[in-house]
Amino acid sequence: MTTYTNSSSPRKPLIAGNWKMNMDHVQGADLLQSLAEGLSEANHDPQRVEVAVFPPLTTLSTVQALIQDDGLDLVCGGQDLSPYDSGAYTGDTSAQFLAKLGCRYVLVGHSERRTIHNETDDVLNAKVRAAYRHSIVPVLCVGEGLEIRQAGTHVEHTLTQLRAGVEGLTEEQAPRLVVAYEPVWAIGTGEVAGPQDAQEMCAAIRADLTELFDADVAARARLLYGGSVKANNAAAILNEPDVDGVLVGGASLDSAEFARIACAEKPQTAAPAL
């Protein structure tokens, strides 16, 4: 199994905050401003660590305008997108609209979308492709539920989701991919997978990307862990060689806590894989 040490990694760590269905546009503006202050007080270096926020759709344009107007060292992304570019799809959001808003990323296949909205692997693959059509980097979320973890088939289950999600991607597209391993049993529960669990799965994902594409793709794609990440456990998780960042839910709604997570990054520098 291939692993990459911190010092030789070509990957820029990504600390991502998924606000889920929290923060209207007024609250979101406040949160973003206090996060920017927190990052600056903690001497966050955007050349070394990228920090992204994923606000709800109605908050996104306010957040993006603040980032742009105030020259903040943050990027934003959408929480979901349509597999289609335009048309009669009431309630859906096109990747081209997200791109126009300045989104760099979009979450695809968060477990809450897979379970609550019954999103299938086929739909999620179409969403991944839609993101690439408009130069948005998909953050493909994968991960097993508790029963699968207890049955010991979590790696197989997660790799099946990965393969379905990335099907048809070209070797030009694939290196930009971000995959977030989020074990469902650790989301919002306070149960955090151990750093070794995060490493086991991220190493398996990276090895699979080598098989699906090639070693260069595997070395450049960024792999995140998500599930009850807090300031007091982030450093240990980020210290694992195949973990390139974290996707944070609840703790991203507290600007001081999230700034501490962003500054708990692993020691390395690199250009973003964009």
Q: Does 187 bind ligand 13P (CB under 6 A)?
A: yes
Would you say 36 and 70 are in contact if contact means Cβ atoms under 8 Å apart?
A: yes
230: three-class secondary structure by DSSP: coil
Contact assessment for residue 132 and residue 138, using Cβ atoms and an 8 Å cutoff: yes
Tokens of 233: 């456990």
Looking at 188, 196, 211, 215, which residue binds ligand 13P (CB under 6 A)?
188
Of positions 136, 174, 248, 262, contacts ligand 13P by CB under 6 A: 248
Given 50, 144, 182, 257, the catalytic residue:
182
Residue 189 burial (CB count, 10 A): 12
For residue 257, indicate whether it is catalytic.
no
Residue 215 CB neighbour total at 10 angstroms: 12
Segment contacting ligand 13P by CB under 6 A, of 26-34, 35-43, 166-174, 181-189: 181-189
**Residue 227 binding ligand 13P, by CB under 6 A:** yes
Residue 44 known to be catalytic = no
User: Is 228 one of the binding residues for ligand 13P (CB under 6 A)?
Assistant: yes
Count of other CB atoms within 10 angstroms of residue 161:
21
- Name the amino acid, one letter, at 178: V
Give the DSSP letter of residue 36. Answer: H
CB closer to ligand 13P out of 175 and 250: 250
Considering 50, 110, 119, 154, which one is annotated as catalytic? 110
Q: Which residues are catalytic?
A: 110, 182
Contacts to ligand 13P by CB under 6 A: 18, 110, 182, 187-188, 226-229, 247-251
